[in-house]
Amino acid sequence: MKFSIGAKIWLSFVAILIVIVVIGSTAYQSINTLIEAAGWRSHTYQVRTALAVVLSNLKDAETGQRGYLITGEDRYLEPYRAALQQMDGVQAELKTLTADNPAQQQRITSLAPLVQAKMSELKETIDLRTGKGFEAARAVVLTDRGKNVMGQIRAIVREMDDAEAALLKTRDEGVQESSRASQLTILIGFLAAVIIVIAAGIFLTRNIGQPLREVTGIAEKISSGDLSVGLDPGNRSDEVGQLLRAFSRMGESLRGMAAVAEKIAAGDLRVEIVRQSERDALGIAFGKMITTLRDMNGELQGGIDVLSGSASEILAGTTQISTGAEETATSISETSSTVEEIKQTANVASQKSKTVSETAQRAAQVSQAGRKAVDEVADGMQRIYDQMAQVADSIVRLSEQTQQIGEIITTVNDLAEQSNLLAVNASIEAAKAGEQGKGFAVVAQEVKSLAEQSKQATVQVRGILGEVQKATSGAVLATEQGSKAVEVGLKQSNEAGEAIRQLADTIVENAQAAAQIAISAQQQLAGMDQLALAMDNIRTASSQNIASARQSEITAQGLHDLGQKLRGMLARFKL
């Protein structure tokens, strides 16, 4: 098999083409024959139709002639005239159609004079009928000249028709034979084509598909990274052979690249890349990769240094954070206990504020009662004031009566004085009377004594009256002071009423404020509860923070160790 795959495929397709060409030409010939036969059949039918037309025209002319002869009416001549016009055309067509048939030409030649004779006979009769009347025309008809000619024409026409029919039959038989041969040829050609196609398919599958599948399997393996596949191209010089050889080279090249990659993986970045061609993407990429790796190595060195330093700082930082978190936890514990104490205090405050609110309510009621009491006090004060006025009036009247008593006392005193003088005078007169006047002297003495007593009594009464006057003055003064005190008291009670009213208002406000405070205290208590809860959460979070800080510390230590390890790893790269 020294042919290339293209040649093999060409050969297969050419064999199939030859079979198709044989079948196609055979079918073409057969169809041409059939078309020709059909044309001849049509030609025969045209000839036969033309013959029928000739005969029909003659009959039409005869019919028109007869009608005219019988009636003499010109309108009966219309079929005759139409037939007369067509007759020459039909004969010429017939002659053209049968031009390839000498026998028919001969018959047409013999037919033409007969037709001419008939037509002239018809014209003669019509002219006679026109010119000489019916009888003359009838005489011509009765000669049977026209009838005979007509008989001859019919005989020739039938003869021509029969000849055409015989010709048609012969042609049909030829056509049938040729079409049968065509059918056979097409059938054989089809079978041959089927066999050739199957053979070519099997051959092409065996010769091209099998090696291609193998190559595909190898490509699959390479694509999955297996470069160990060995290939035997054999001595095939066709495209498959070339393909196998190309695959072999690709495998070698890839193995070389793999070896380079192996070296790079081992840390040897000194390898030189040999490019297979100008467009060796892998080679270029490897070259770039090595360059990039060298650069990256340098950058990594720097990065690791930074990382190492940062890890150390982070370690220190996390240690501090850990310490700080522990301190925070201690502080949070203290805060938490403080919050608990505050909560209890708030609880107490809430209860106290509730009590205060209730007390304020009671105080508001008490202040209302106080207000009423103060109003009553004001009324009482007013009454006291009025009664004080009455008392003052009574005392003044008493004082006036005392004065009257004083006047009476003065009168009595005067009387006593005069009585005294009278008694003295009586005594003197008694003394002058001598011994007879002694008894009178005693009476006078007694009168004097009475006068003295009266005087003393008046003195006493005067003293008592003075005291009474003093007492009434004191009482008036006291009443005045009392009145003033009551006035002041009235004013003060009004002020007190006002004050208590304001106090009541204030107390009501206080009660409201206390109620609000109680509510606030309640809210505060609720807030403290939430705060305590929050502090618990914070404490939990704080302990978690401590754990996290320790974890961070461990992690930072790990990071630090990682930095050291990376530094060690980077040292393995040979630049």
Contact positions vs other proteins (CB under 8 A): 417-418, 420-421, 423-425, 427-428, 431-432, 441-442, 444-445, 448, 489, 492
Q: Which is nearer to other proteins, 442 or 533 (CB)?
A: 442
Task: Work out how close the CB of 518 gets to other proteins at its nearest, in angstroms, rounded to a whole number.
Answer: 35
Tokens of 44: 């025969």
- CA 542, CA 325: separation in Å to the nearest integer? 7
Q: Which is nearer to other proteins, 384 or 562 (CB)?
A: 384
Task: Work out how close the CB of 449 gets to other proteins at its nearest, in angstroms, rounded to a whole number.
Answer: 9
Q: Which is nearer to other proteins, 61 or 490 (CB)?
A: 490
Q: Which is nearer to other proteins, 344 or 453 (CB)?
A: 453
Q: Which is nearer to other proteins, 263 or 501 (CB)?
A: 501
Q: Which is nearer to other proteins, 118 or 448 (CB)?
A: 448
Tokens of 294: 């060298």
Whether residue 461 contacts residue 409, with contact meaning beta carbons closer than 8 Å, is answered with yes
- CA 190, CA 137: separation in Å to the nearest integer? 76
- CA 448, CA 458: separation in Å to the nearest integer? 15
Quick one: angle between helices 78-97 and 102-131, nearest 10?
170
Q: Which is nearer to other proteins, 271 or 405 (CB)?
A: 405
- CA 526, CA 207: separation in Å to the nearest integer? 93
- CA 220, CA 20: separation in Å to the nearest integer? 41
Whether residue 456 contacts residue 389, with contact meaning beta carbons closer than 8 Å, is answered with no
Q: Which residues contact 483 (CB under 8 A, 6 or more apart)?
A: 385, 388, 389, 392
Q: Which is nearer to other proteins, 26 or 427 (CB)?
A: 427
What are the CA-CA distances from residue 399 to residues 160, 180, 408 (Å)? 199, 186, 14
Q: 156: left (phi > 0), else alpha (psi -120 to 50), else beta?
A: alpha
Task: Work out how close the CB of 448 gets to other proteins at its nearest, in angstroms, rounded to a whole number.
Answer: 5
* CA dihedral angle for residue 73, residue 76, residue 81, residue 84, rounded to 10 degrees: -120
What are the CA-CA distances from residue 48 to residues 132, 160, 168, 171, 282 (Å)? 40, 8, 11, 16, 90
- CA 563, CA 305: separation in Å to the nearest integer? 8
Q: Which is nearer to other proteins, 82 or 450 (CB)?
A: 450
User: CA-based angle 429:435:437, to the nearest 5?
Assistant: 35
Determine phi and psi for 39, rounding to 5 degrees.
-65, -45
Whether residue 535 contacts residue 335, with contact meaning beta carbons closer than 8 Å, is answered with yes
Name the β-bridge partners of 268.
574
Q: Which is nearer to other proteins, 180 or 383 (CB)?
A: 383
Q: Which is nearer to other proteins, 492 or 543 (CB)?
A: 492
Amino acid making up residue 455: K
- CA 409, CA 466: separation in Å to the nearest integer? 12
Q: Which is nearer to other proteins, 65 or 420 (CB)?
A: 420
Return the SS3 of 266: coil
Single out the residue of 296, 470, 478 nearest to residue 398, CA to CA: 470
Q: Which is nearer to other proteins, 375 or 417 (CB)?
A: 417
| Cβ neighbours, 10 Å, residue 350 | 21
Single out the residue of 173, 169, 124 nearest to residue 146, CA to CA: 124
Return the SS3 of 259: helix
Task: Work out how close the CB of 492 gets to other proteins at its nearest, in angstroms, rounded to a whole number.
Answer: 8
Q: 238: left (phi > 0), else alpha (psi -120 to 50), else beta?
A: beta
Q: Which is nearer to other proteins, 78 or 446 (CB)?
A: 446
- CA 419, CA 451: separation in Å to the nearest integer? 6
Q: Which is nearer to other proteins, 84 or 461 (CB)?
A: 461
Check the CA dihedral 35-41-45-47 and report its sign.
positive
Task: Work out how close the CB of 446 gets to other proteins at its nearest, in angstroms, rounded to a whole number.
Answer: 8
Tokens of 493: 């009670």
| Cβ neighbours, 10 Å, residue 223 | 8
